[in-house]
């Protein structure tokens, strides 16, 4: 099951990877066209497959505002991970096209969870795997295909640790950031890097494989490693606050159709995320 990602000059920028359970990442420039940085290219989707080694709603109050800390100095990534990992889940879906997975961010103690719309698009069944290994059924409370965001409600859970959201307008090029999620089904994977660009225009037109209108946003670009399965997971600053939701990667196409991180990833800024969650609420 492939989702769409933008491409540049024939190479592929994949929508922050949601991975298909079948294993390999499916890419196809024929799926759609995308525009970012002024260059037109193809769009390809990726879903993460779990397995092998082993992307109406909450109230705005559920999205916590946090202060933004500068990452000019090297941060303790282990401390960031320890703070944020309890707020990150794996999102498992079953659709007519098969099974797949992505990542999600806890919004409230009673189980409201943020992810990408493309992670749950067409889902017949959704479950979430919490950081402590528990699994819960979940329903889609609200989704917005045009911003590629969705909010889930996990059933029968309490006492979860909501993530803290920072002001993405205060993010600067060179800030240290950490990405957390389930690339290739490897839950709780932590990667680090810097903000490599800001206000990168990413547009993914509607395709036959997606419902609704095109997806377009001004993204935070990072060199933190993001791969299929990271879709919907958080990009956090040196204070462990969410500055973006990982949603796309740049990945050159190969003859085998495989795609993965080459050090250029994109995240929907946290301020946009909070605005959309507020509208859904």
Please give the C-alpha separations between residue 264 and each of 222, 223, 260, in angstroms, as whole numbers: 6, 5, 10
> Which pTM value belongs to this model?
0.76
Q: Which two tokens stand for residue 168?
A: 């993405």
Give backbone dihedrals phi and psi of 57, rounded to 5 degrees, phi first. Answer: 110, 175
Catalytic residues: 118, 148, 231
Q: How far apart, in whole angstroms, are the C-alpha atoms of residue 235 and residue 20?
A: 22
Residue 206: CB atoms within 10 A of its CB come to: 15
Domain ranges of the chain: 7-53+164-275
pLDDT at 267: 96
Query: Which residues lie across from 195 on neighbouring strands?
Result: 222
Its sign, for the CA torsion 145, 162, 20, 195, is positive
Predicted local confidence at residue 206, as pLDDT: 57
d(CA 30, CA 53): 30
Four-way CATH pick for 7-53+164-275: 3.20.20.140, 3.40.50.880, 3.30.70.870, 2.40.10.10: 2.40.10.10
Instruction: pLDDT tens for the chain, 281 residues: list them.
Output: 333 333 333 333 455 445 554 332 222 222 222 222 222 222 233 334 444 333 333 333 333 444 444 443 456 999 999 999 999 999 999 988 889 999 999 999 999 999 999 999 989 999 999 999 999 999 999 998 888 999 999 999 999 999 999 999 999 999 999 999 999 899 999 999 999 999 998 876 554 345 556 677 899 999 999 999 999 999 999 999 999 999 988 767 544 555 667 888 999 999 999 999 987 76
Question: In this structure, are residues 203 and 36 in contact, taking their beta carbons and an 8 Å threshold?
Answer: yes
Name every residue whose Cβ is closer than 8 Å to that of residue 202 and which is 6 or more positions away in sequence: 6, 13, 34, 36, 215, 216, 217, 218, 219, 247, 248, 266
- Give the pLDDT score at 113: 97
């Amino acid at each position: 099951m492939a989702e769409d990602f933008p491409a540049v000059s024939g190479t592929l920028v994949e929508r922050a990877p949601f991975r298909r359970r079948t294993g390999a990442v499916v890419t196809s420039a024929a799926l759609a066209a995308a525009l970012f940085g002024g260059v037109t290219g193809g769009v390809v989707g990726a879903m993460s497959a779990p397995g092998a080694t082993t992307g109406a709603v909450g109230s705005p109050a559920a999205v916590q505002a946090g202060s933004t800390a500068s990452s000019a100095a090297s941060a303790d990534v282990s401390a960031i991970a320890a703070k944020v990992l309890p707020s990150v889940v794996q999102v498992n879906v079953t659709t007519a096209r098969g099974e797949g997975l992505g990542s999600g961010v806890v919004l409230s103690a009673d189980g409201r969870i943020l992810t990408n719309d493309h992670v749950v698009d067409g889902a017949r069944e959704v479950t979430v795997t919490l950081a402590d290994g528990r699994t819960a059924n979940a329903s889609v409370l609200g989704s917005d295909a045009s911003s590629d965001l969705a909010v889930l409600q996990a059933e029968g859970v309490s006492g979860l640790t909501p993530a803290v959201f920072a002001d993405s307008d205060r993010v600067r090029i060179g800030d240290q950031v950490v990405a957390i999620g389930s690339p290739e089904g490897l839950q709780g994977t932590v990667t680090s890097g810097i903000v490599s660009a800001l206000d990168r225009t990413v547009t993914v037109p509607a395709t036959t494989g997606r419902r609704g209108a095109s997806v377009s946003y001004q993204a935070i670009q990072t060199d933190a490693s993001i791969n299929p399965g990271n879709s919907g997971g958080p990009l956090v600053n040196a204070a462990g606050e969410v500055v973006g939701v990982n949603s796309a990667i740049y990945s050159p196409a190969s003859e085998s159709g495989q795609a993965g991180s080459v050090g250029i990833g994109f995240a929907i800024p946290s301020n946009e995320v909070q605005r959309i969650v507020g509208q859904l609420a």
